[in-house]
Chain A
Amino acid sequence: MSDVVVARSLDEARGALAEHPDATVLAGGTDLMVEINRGLRRPSHVVGVAQVPELRDWSIADDQVIVGGGVTYTEMMTTPLADAAPALAQAARTVGSPPIRNAGTLGGNLGTASPAGDTLPVLAALNAQIVVVGPDGERRMALDEFVVGVKRTSLRPGELIVRAEMDRPTGRQEFLKIGPRNAMVISMAGLALVADHDARAVRCALGAVAAGIPRARDAEAWVSERIDWDNGAGVDDSVADEFGQRVAAASSPIDDHRSTAAYRRHAIAVLATRALKRAFAQGDPSDA
């Protein structure tokens, strides 16, 4: 095998990885190349997967959206995928800059497994199953089984992220993210919230405020009982506020150079309150 293989099919990618299980899988390059450029990583073998057609597939069913690992942020922001998974599109739009969104992929966001990975809270809130393929065939797992720590995944040598299969609930979806300026930011705190009217459940997951991507399950359960699912009326301010506090309790943020734990916990509460209100607001969702 050459040092650099640009795979043109999933089989080709699997074959190259079987030959060199330690090879570095390169998708959009938006994380990996930063490390390579800084000399922090010096791969001996690279398998490029950006041109594997199977990974660039996506599909939309009534109750499910399947997004290939090679689908870019720009594609996630584009109709009809954006209409089928609005929070994913909202999250994608906050990633980096337009050229970054043209290159970066869902699989790359998963593989990097940063707590600040913007699509990850969306995947968690949409009950996504992450499908990987390796020498031993296919494995599927929930996001919290896939992301096991800060930039740590349960991916085994030779395995490749193929796709994410996520719910397509009937209610609204919201993604909100705080950064130090109005565009092109690493998340200081992020949150995805979806309203699943069929399941009569609110689901909410958090980014950049814990080692992983926590779901605020207690808060979800608490608020799901307080939503007037039948009439679709808005949410009481007091409920939204308490929901915010309960969601914040699911965070375990730290102080770092980007922000403080205290601010992050506070911000998550505000974001959760706003996301809930938007998800159950009367009329058309505002989504400028």
Chain B
Amino acid sequence: MTSEAANTAAGGSTATGTGADTIVDVGTRGVGADVGRPDGVPKVQGRFAFSSDLWADDFLWGHTLRSPHASALIRGVDIGPAVAMAGVYAVLLADDVPGCPTYGLEHGDQPALADGQVRYVGEPVALVAADHPDIARRAAEAIVVDYEVTEPLTDAEAAPTAAPIHPDGNVFREITIRHGDLDVTGEVTVEGVYEVGMQDQAFMGPESGMALPDEDGSVELFVSTQWLHVDREQIAACLGIDEEKVRLTLAGVGGAFGAREDLSLQVHLCLLALHTGKPVKMVYSRDESFLGHVHRHPAKMWYRHHADRTGRLVKVEARIVLDGGAYASTSSAVIANASCFAAGPYKVPAAHITGLAARTNNPPCGAMRGFGAVQTCFGHESQMDKLAAALNMDPVELRLLNAIGPGDRLVTGQLITGTFPTAEVIRQCAYAPEAEIPLSDDRRDLPGGSGRTTDAADTVRGTGFAVGFKNLMFSEGYDDYSSAACRVSDGVATITCACAEVGQGFVTLAQQIARTELGVDEVILAPAQTATIGSAGSSSASRQTWMSGGAVQAACREVRAQILADVAAEWGVSPDGLVLRDGLVVSLDGQQEALLAQVTAGAGYEADVEYHHAPTEALDENGQGNAHVSFACAAHRATVDVDPDLGLVRVRDITTAQDVGRILNPTQAVGQIEGGIAQGLGLALMEEIVLDDGLVRNASFTDYVIPTTLDMPDVTIAAFVEEPEPGAPYGAKGIGEPPTISSSAAIAAAVRAATGQDLPRIPIRPADIALG
């Protein structure tokens, strides 16, 4: 099973090359071309192995018993009834965690299994392995946990002064940005309080994986994750064994969007496998998945914008409170992002921004596409519209007047040295021709859809605009490098990189890069695993195109140099006069050429590189510093039809422009943009984890609703704004997150325009409009 799973899981490795010894034109299959995914065919055939599809001889099913309480002491656990059940092989508790009892991405404050106390609904308490999933579930139900329920802390604003609910205290991070002359005031000020609900990533493929124990005490784990190596580090610590004894291979990942950056079942699977000596598989149910991963932080934000009478921003004041839930996850980085980007992509001479990420007994929150920038974008864009109204100014002109760009400084004092074409992105989106969208008689196009609630005459139309931005890569001094290896033999390139393919299309890009750099057509992608290559960093923060793309590019270039040096020596020419093209080594003077397949026959040219971005700095006590590597922005214009009496909304069009640096694969870029906008639409109108005193009320796809084909409009991409980013491989910026950042704000603005209401909270619920 192992090797087959590994091969398929890595993406099929089904490069459809025409053979190593054939001369082909790779010009259409390299960087910039519309190349199809290498895993596309197995995925449409149902042959692609996801992490829930794994199988091994004599394997067991794992199941997790979770806390039903948001806050409780555990007075005792009786596993006797579970152990006694036929078919049960193991029942494990916190005491069975042999190594470090806790883990965490930034702070190791989260117990692998609850020890004496539970701090959120869904916290893992016990593990079961059995020979049938239903037996495992029944055994978990048979475990008797004696809880002493305590009052949960559910208000993030109250958390800093409340009694600590964890030894590390209730504050994950407080951050203050003081920039410019804080005594200035504007001739015009606008103030608002805004709120963002708790969104879930709701990827389609639930958490799942399989662990296989080895006799030497090591363990092999096939799992869907965003970052293999950081998983390994945390798993090994909890297991109390060397990292070399934990070997991870990426199994097919059914979407991620941030939810797989933290551990979920990784330690649990390994514990059960090592304990039973058998392969153990776990697949979360959908309900469990909602409890089993972090969510987007809910936010409460107060803002005051100051401007002069011409509309120039003078100062921005903001207070941002994020509810981090029970454990740290990435809260400290999310609040930094939320604070650093709180003023939006605008020139702001003075800013006083405070951010707090607090611990509560709500579900833990961490990474989700947009990572803090989504929440504050809703705040700053709501404010910009309010300011435009106060100034009696066109909201787009106000944004253009203040748009940030190269040579300007962020509120963190950082000078923009790369590309940052905010004004062009705004212009391209806002001034794109408006599509003719007739008011439909087809109820499927109207608010309420198939529910037949609404006639065309019951609707009003509105258009809204928003622009947002965020950083690419990790920040504040973190060196999130990537590693890649390239090998060329017999004219075929093999790329090894541990970059987690989560659907974004890195596998396509890696092949394109290798083709462009090496002039080959056939590019094999080795499995992404910890044993064969160093860390690629996380598939998050819009960073893999740049970081792992950069690593693959560098590895290929190093191999190319080796090949050209050898050929140059043989031909007695300078390597500078040689190129790799179309499966050939060619001299630029056209005098000599050789088949790459012959040159590299049996040879094995290879290189293994680490790629680093330019270093960044920590923020100082005033929140000042060159903390970020690069930035990307996008703008969205939304057109909506609203049924104000019922509070129902149908989005009719989203037009967008995005700062992309350079497009490396047009179709994949479109897919990222459309998909990111759909998640923004969900946050604007329907997606929210509903909590009641820490209890999750809607942990299912029945009640946590995400957009369907009848909710998502056609997306009009007005422009890819292509200004190559200095220092980025091929000038390309990551494109995954910006579509999600300002789309929610644009839709909210459109609903406001249609209804004339304030609507300071997303998601906008029907009652907010109808009874607002």
Q: Tell whether any CB of A sits under 8 Å from a CB of B in the complex.
A: yes
Chain A residues packing against B (C-beta within 8 Å): 37-39, 90, 93-94, 174-186, 188, 190, 256-260, 262-263, 266-267, 270-271, 274, 278, 286, 288
Q: Is the CB of A259 within 8 A of B766?
A: yes
CB-based closest 8 A-B pairs = A182-B449, A257-B697, A263-B767, A177-B451, A183-B710, A182-B710, A257-B690, A288-B443
Interface segment, one of B86-94, B134-142, B391-399, B594-602: B134-142
Residues on the A chain within 8 Å of B650, using CB: 182
- In Å, the complex CA distance between A243 and B134 comes to 52
Q: Is the CB of B285 within 8 A of A93?
A: no
Is B692 located at the chain interface by the 8 A CB criterion?
yes
Q: Is the CB of B442 within 8 A of A186?
A: no
- In Å, the complex CA distance between A266 and B451 comes to 17
Residues on the B chain within 8 Å of A39, using CB: 134, 137-138, 141
- Please classify how large the interface on chain B is, using the bins under 10, 10 to 19, 20 to 34, 35 or more: 35 or more
- In Å, the complex CA distance between A181 and B711 comes to 7
Residues on the B chain within 8 Å of A256, using CB: 697
- In Å, the complex CA distance between A278 and B710 comes to 24
- In Å, the complex CA distance between A152 and B636 comes to 48
Known: A179-B451, A288-B443. 7 other contacts (CB 8 A): A180-B705, A183-B449, A258-B703, A262-B771, A271-B453, A271-B646, A286-B441
Q: Is the CB of B458 within 8 A of A274?
A: yes
Residues on the A chain within 8 Å of B287, using CB: 38
Name the residue on A nearest B452 (C-beta).
Answer: A176
Interface string of B659-671 (1 = CB under 8 A from A): 0000000000000
Min CB distance, B288 to chain A, in Å? 10
Min CB distance, A76 to chain B, in Å? 14
Residues on the A chain within 8 Å of B137, using CB: 39
- In Å, the complex CA distance between A12 and B561 comes to 79
Select one of B285, B648, B697 contacting A178, CB under 8 A: B648
Q: Is the CB of A90 within 8 A of B141?
A: no
Chain B residues packing against A (C-beta within 8 Å): 134, 137-138, 141, 285, 287, 441-444, 447-453, 455, 458, 645-648, 650, 685-686, 690, 692, 697-698, 702-703, 705, 707-711, 765-767, 770-771
- In Å, the complex CA distance between A257 and B287 comes to 15
Name the residue on B nearest A270 (C-beta).
Answer: B645
- In Å, the complex CA distance between A179 and B648 comes to 9
Residues on the B chain within 8 Å of A190, using CB: 451
Main secondary structure of the interface of B (DSSP, over half): loop
- In Å, the complex CA distance between A256 and B767 comes to 13
Q: Is the CB of A259 within 8 A of B705?
A: no
Residues on the A chain within 8 Å of B442, using CB: 288
Known: A177-B451, A180-B686, A274-B453. A267 touches B698 (CB 8 A): no
Name the residue on A nearest B447 (C-beta).
Answer: A182
Min CB distance, B198 to chain A, in Å? 13
Q: Is the CB of B692 within 8 A of A257?
A: yes
Q: Is the CB of A183 within 8 A of B711?
A: yes
- In Å, the complex CA distance between A117 and B34 comes to 47
- In Å, the complex CA distance between A178 and B698 comes to 18
Q: Is the CB of A185 within 8 A of B690?
A: no
Q: Is the CB of B458 within 8 A of A260?
A: no
- In Å, the complex CA distance between A263 and B767 comes to 6
Min CB distance, B456 to chain A, in Å? 9
- In Å, the complex CA distance between A94 and B707 comes to 16
Q: Is the CB of B702 within 8 A of A178?
A: no
Residues on the A chain within 8 Å of B697, using CB: 256-257
Residues on the A chain within 8 Å of B705, using CB: 180-181, 184-185
Q: Is the CB of A176 within 8 A of B451?
A: yes
Min CB distance, A231 to chain B, in Å? 23
Residues on the B chain within 8 Å of A183, using CB: 449-450, 708-711
Residues on the A chain within 8 Å of B770, using CB: 263, 266-267, 270
Q: Is the CB of A262 within 8 A of B451?
A: no
Min CB distance, A45 to chain B, in Å? 17
